Amino acid sequence: MAEQSVLVVEDTDEIRELVTTVLRRAGFDVREASSGAACLEEVRRDAPDLIVLDLGLPDADGTEVCRQIRAETQCYVLMLTARAEEVDLLIGLAVGADGYMAKPFSPRELVARVQAMLRFPRQVQVAQPAAQAAESVRRLAELEVDEESREVRVDGAVVDLTRTEFDLLAALASRPGRVLQRETLLREVWQTDWEGNLRLVEAHMSNLRRKLVAAGLNSPEIRTVRGVGYRLVAA
């Protein structure tokens, strides 16, 4: 299996080198960039599986770089922020990062987070017998969730979702009608209960909903169970 690739975008040399070193040691194929422009150039040349993106870059706002990445690829984005308080602000802005870490962070925690995020594509690469592959498609009214190709279709048309949005929908679709707690989704989709940050679930869920509605999905719909979580029900 090919090594999974990570692009580390950070202008402070010591931090970039530290992150690069620990990720290489963990077995990732790591590339580096020290500006927003260099990041986008790398992404266009050969999109990585995951980008560790510093919020404070010399030439560009990290949130704008993140939006640009989102517009061009499906890769995971783990954003580094200078202060913990910035995380809530960024989630509110819906810049679309899949995870956040505030500086100073422990290198071991960063590696664990990257490994957790990349676990899903790793599973997809496992060859499945044909019979099992066929069962990987869930159909619920107008919605199809294909776990093998990681595609979502509404009335047969593919909906462009980020990996995190797909993972959220797949979690809901695997248990239609049942309420999934936000804590459960945080654990299943982000593979951790880091920071207990439930607003991240809410932000990605609202993006997912918006995209499904824009794609013309009437049924099933994602319903909010106030103060608890979400469920997928046929309208």
C-beta of 4: minimal distance to Ca ion in Å? 24
Determine the Cα–Cα distance for residues 42 and 31; give it in Å rounded to an integer: 9
Sequence-ordered strand ranges (E) for the chain: 5-9, 29-33, 50-54, 76-81, 99-102, 137-140, 143-146, 151-154, 157-159, 180-181, 221-225, 229-233
C-beta of 21: minimal distance to Ca ion in Å? 17
Q: Which CB atom, from 56 or from 176, has the smaller least distance to Ca ion?
A: 56
Q: Which residues contact 59 (CB under 8 A, 6 or more apart)?
A: 35, 36, 37
Q: Which CB atom, from 83 or from 119, has the smaller least distance to Ca ion?
A: 83
Place of tokens 């995380």: 87
Q: Which CB atom, from 56 or from 121, has the smaller least distance to Ca ion?
A: 56
Looking at beta carbons, which residue is closest to Ca ion? 56
Determine the Cα–Cα distance for residues 35 and 197; give it in Å rounded to an integer: 28
Q: Which CB atom, from 11 or from 148, has the smaller least distance to Ca ion?
A: 11
**CA 108, 92, 203: angle at the middle one, nearest 5?**
75
Q: Which CB atom, from 54 or from 165, has the smaller least distance to Ca ion?
A: 54
C-beta of 42: minimal distance to Ca ion in Å? 17
Q: Which CB atom, from 80 or from 185, has the smaller least distance to Ca ion?
A: 80
Place of tokens 């040691």: 25
Binding site for Ca ion (CB under 5 A): 11-12, 54, 56
C-beta of 198: minimal distance to Ca ion in Å? 28
C-beta of 35: minimal distance to Ca ion in Å? 10
Quickly list DSSP for 122-187.
Answer: HHHTS---HHHHHHTEEEETTEEEETTTTEEEETTEEE---HHHHHHHHHHHTSTTS-EEHHHHHH
C-beta of 83: minimal distance to Ca ion in Å? 12
